[in-house]
């Protein structure tokens, strides 16, 4: 089954063609540069950019895959969570395609797709396993019983870990998105330079809290009573130390909580998804910490927002349901961390 996957939840316009949920024939991603100058995603501009980019990206994706629209068997689209103006563009494009091609259409959850990205490999997924979602909007641990069946183990009570990377980057005057910038700068710094601490949530060993860590970074840069009115006062080596110390603290917190959940629930594998999974230091820390079971990261081009994970998951959702969604499906905007769909 050939699936066209459309992703427009935030600031990436992405379209992919995937066969049977696994074989990626194309995975075209167009990132919107416009947000860099705003230091974050400007929703109005994101929606407008999707309108311009989506037809081009669809055509390019079909071309790379060497297939025509008529060859597509199913249209899968990320139906939420995300920005409403962005979601509407992808969802309506998917509906229009399905209607005109007389092909089924399916809406999938973007966050669930991030988790599925790590399962897109030749070998069958291993269950029950631990899912670790670490993106700009979400941070949580789930027990994966099968594709489509999850139980929440823990989540952040405030900021998502990617959001913390983005906010700390802003304090250091680094451009958006901050995650890759912090990672780059951290390579030149000393991760033990500043003894930051990640947040602990009382009586919830698998929950996360990153807002205190972000505040501590603020204090270490601008002082206890400081305010950020101008450029970051640190020298470049000092900035690198802050980046490295923050990164080490945030990532170790994720890895330790994930590892202890894997052991406590006796899970047979760990699947990691979301933009922060792109961080190389995270890979090293996981390898050091989790030794008894395999840890799977998304493959090349599957960590950040992409259409392949949407097409891949769409195949399973459609097969499990035995039918497509109706064309009156509405996009779901809610992006709270306690809001992951279908969690029992």
> Site residues (CB under 5 A) for Zn ion?
135, 305
User: Residue of minimal CB distance from Zn ion?
Assistant: 305
Choices 84-92, 173-181, 203-211, 227-235 (CB under 6 A): range interacting with ligand KG4: 173-181
76 or 279: CB nearest ligand KG4 = 279
Q: Smallest gap, in angstroms, from Cβ of residue 343 to Zn ion?
A: 17
Which listed range, 20-28, 61-69, 255-263, 276-284, lies at the site for ligand KG4 (CB under 6 A)?
A: 276-284
Question: What minimum distance in Å lies between the beta carbon of 20 and ligand KG4?
Answer: 24
Q: Evaluate the omega torsion of the peptide bond into residue 172 and state whether it is cis, within 30 degrees of 0.
A: no
Candidate residues 85, 180, 205, 299; the one interacting with ligand KG4 per rule CB under 6 A: 180
CA quadruple 43, 45, 51, 53: dihedral positive or negative? negative
- What minimum distance in Å lies between the beta carbon of 135 and ligand KG4? 3
Q: Where are the beta strands (DSSP E) in the chain?
A: 2-7, 12-19, 23-31, 74-80, 105-109, 129-134, 139-146, 149-155, 270-273, 295-296
Write down the least CB distance from residue 185 to Zn ion, Å: 23
Give CA angle at 159 (156, 165), nearest 5°.
120
Edge-to-edge strand list for the sheet holding 129-134: 149-155, 139-146, 129-134, 270-273, 295-296
Q: Does 135 bind ligand KG4 (CB under 6 A)?
A: yes
Out of ligand KG4, Zn ion, none, which partner does residue 179 contact, by CB within 5 to 8 A per kind?
ligand KG4
Tell me if 16 contacts ligand KG4 by CB under 6 A.
Answer: no
Coil, helix or strand for 196? coil
Burial of 148 (0-12, 13-18, 19+ CB in 10 A): middle
Cβ proximity to ligand KG4: between 30 and 278 the closer is 278
Q: How many CA atoms lie within 13 A of 8 on its CB side?
A: 31
| 174 contacts ligand KG4 (rule: CB under 6 A) | no
120 contributes a contact to ligand KG4 by CB under 6 A? no
Q: Which of 107, 131, 162, 189 binds ligand KG4 (CB under 6 A)?
A: 162
Q: Is 112 in the site for ligand KG4 (CB under 6 A)?
A: no
**CA gap 88, 331 in Å, rounded:** 7
Residue among 139, 304, 138, 161 at smallest CA distance from 246: 161
Q: Name which of Zn ion, ligand KG4, none residue 278 binds, using a CB cut-off of 5 to 8 Å depending on partner kind.
A: ligand KG4
Pairing relationship of beta strands 139-146 and 149-155 according to DSSP bridges: antiparallel
Which residue lies nearer to ligand KG4 by CB, 109 or 262?
109
d(CA 327, CA 110): 19
| Residue 82 to residue 97: CA distance in whole angstroms | 21
Applying CB under 6 A, the site for ligand KG4 has a residue count of 20
Distance between CA atoms of residues 90 and 226, nearest Å: 43
Q: Which lies closer to Zn ion via its Cβ, residue 319 or residue 333?
A: 333
User: Interface with ligand KG4 includes 298 (CB under 6 A)?
Assistant: no
Write out the binding residues for ligand KG4, residues 46-85 only, by CB under 6 A: none
Can you tell me the distance from the alpha carbon of 196 to that of 216, in angstroms, rounded to the nearest whole number?
A: 7
Q: Is 7 in the site for ligand KG4 (CB under 6 A)?
A: no
Q: Which residues bind ligand KG4 (CB under 6 A)?
A: 114, 135-137, 162-163, 165-166, 177-180, 183, 274-276, 278-279, 304-305
């Amino acid at each position: 089954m050939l699936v066209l996957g459309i992703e427009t939840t935030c600031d990436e316009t992405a379209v992919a063609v995937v066969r049977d949920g696994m074989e990626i024939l194309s995975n075209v991603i167009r990132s919107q540069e416009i947000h860099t100058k705003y230091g974050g995603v400007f929703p109005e501009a994101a929606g407008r950019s999707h309108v311009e980019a989506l037809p081009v990206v669809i055509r390019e994706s079909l071309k790379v895959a060497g297939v025509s629209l008529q060859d597509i068997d199913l249209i899968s689209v990320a139906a939420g969570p995300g920005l409403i103006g962005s979601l509407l563009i992808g969802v309506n494009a998917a509906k229009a395609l399905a209607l005109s091609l007389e092909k089924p259409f399916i809406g999938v959850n973007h966050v669930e797709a991030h988790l599925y990205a790590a399962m897109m490999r030749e070998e069958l997924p291993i269950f029950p396993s631990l899912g670790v979602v670490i993106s700009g909007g979400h941070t949580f641990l789930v027990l994966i019983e099968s594709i489509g069946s999850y139980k929440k183990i823990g989540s952040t009570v405030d900021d998502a870990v990617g959001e913390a990377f983005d906010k700390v980057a802003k304090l250091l005057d680094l451009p958006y998105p901050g995650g890759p910038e912090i990672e780059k700068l951290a390579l030149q710094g000393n991760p033990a330079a500043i003894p930051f601490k990640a947040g602990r949530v009382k009586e919830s060993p698998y929950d996360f809290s990153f807002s205190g860590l972000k505040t501590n970074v603020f204090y270490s840069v601008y002082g206890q009573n400081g305010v950020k009115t101008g450029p970051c006062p640190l020298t470049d080596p000092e900035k690198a130390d802050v980046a490295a110390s923050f990164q080490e603290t945030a990532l170790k917190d994720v890895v330790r909580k994930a590892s202890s959940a894997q052991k406590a629930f006796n899970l047979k594998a760990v699947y990691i998804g979301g933009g922060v999974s792109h961080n190389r230091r995270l890979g090293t820390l996981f390898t050091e910490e989790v030794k008894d079971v395999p840890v799977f990261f998304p493959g090349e081009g599957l960590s950040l927002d992409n259409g392949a994970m949407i097409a891949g998951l769409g195949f399973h959702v459609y097969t499990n349901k035995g039918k497509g969604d109706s064309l009156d499906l509405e996009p779901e905007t809610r992006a709270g961390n306690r809001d992951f769909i279908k969690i029992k």
